[in-house]
């Protein structure tokens, strides 16, 4: 990273796991490793998806085990189907809040309803997160319509 970052015109982003990387021995060790990436020349961090904003807000931007991190951009997942939510959450170690899981489970066989709840959840997350910083990363899963809706809703709220 140091070599690439020293070249004009390049910007380096790295991944961060709000709940800790699934293979890390602890969240503290994962945050220390994230800080090492930043110290090696990363300009910003984009987080893996998370469903509860308090998980993101616990990333120690002002100190803690990882020390001061540069710009940390929250990754908001635009949930579109039940199976996808379960699989991706297992892969990245994201906790699904029980209230969201119950809601989605009840309509898991109704794709339109799952997407409706998922987009609404993403909107509420995004609405709260833009108060902490001007940037968001939307995990769209190759579907632009839910992302466009979230952006429109955010612009209406401003």
Tell me the pLDDT band of 31, cut-offs 50, 70 and 90. Answer: confident
The pLDDT of residue 4 is: 62
CATH code of the region 2-157: 3.20.20.220
| 147 within 8 A of 84, measured Cβ to Cβ | no
pLDDT digits (tens, 9 = 90+) for 106-144: 999 999 999 999 999 999 999 999 888 778 999 988 888
In this structure, are strands 44-50 and 137-139 parallel, antiparallel, or unpaired? unpaired
pLDDT digits (tens, 9 = 90+) for 32-51: 998 898 888 888 899 999 99
Where exactly are the structural domains of the chain? 2-157
| 88 within 8 A of 94, measured Cβ to Cβ | yes
The pLDDT of residue 63 is: 42
C-alpha span between 125 and 145 (Å, rounded): 17
Token pair of 90, please? Answer: 């297992």
The pLDDT of residue 14 is: 92
User: Residue 49 forms beta bridges with which residues?
Assistant: 75
């Amino acid at each position: 990273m140091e070599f690439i970052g020293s070249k004009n015109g390049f910007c380096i982003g790295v991944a961060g796991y709000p709940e800790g990387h699934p293979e890390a021995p602890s969240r503290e060790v994962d945050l220390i490793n994230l800080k090492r990436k930043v110290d090696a020349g990363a300009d910003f961090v984009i987080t893996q998806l998370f469903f509860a904003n308090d998980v993101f807000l616990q990333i120690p931007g002002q100190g803690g085990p990882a020390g001061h991190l540069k710009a940390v951009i929250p990754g908001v997942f635009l949930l579109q189907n039940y199976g996808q939510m379960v699989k991706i959450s297992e892969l990245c170690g994201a906790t699904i809040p029980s209230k969201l899981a119950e809601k989605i489970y009840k309509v898991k066989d109704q794709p339109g309803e799952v997407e409706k709840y998922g987009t609404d959840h993403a909107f509420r997350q995004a609405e709260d997160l833009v108060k902490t910083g001007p940037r968001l990363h939307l995990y769209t899963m190759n579907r632009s319509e839910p992302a466009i809706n979230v952006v429109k809703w955010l612009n209406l709220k401003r």
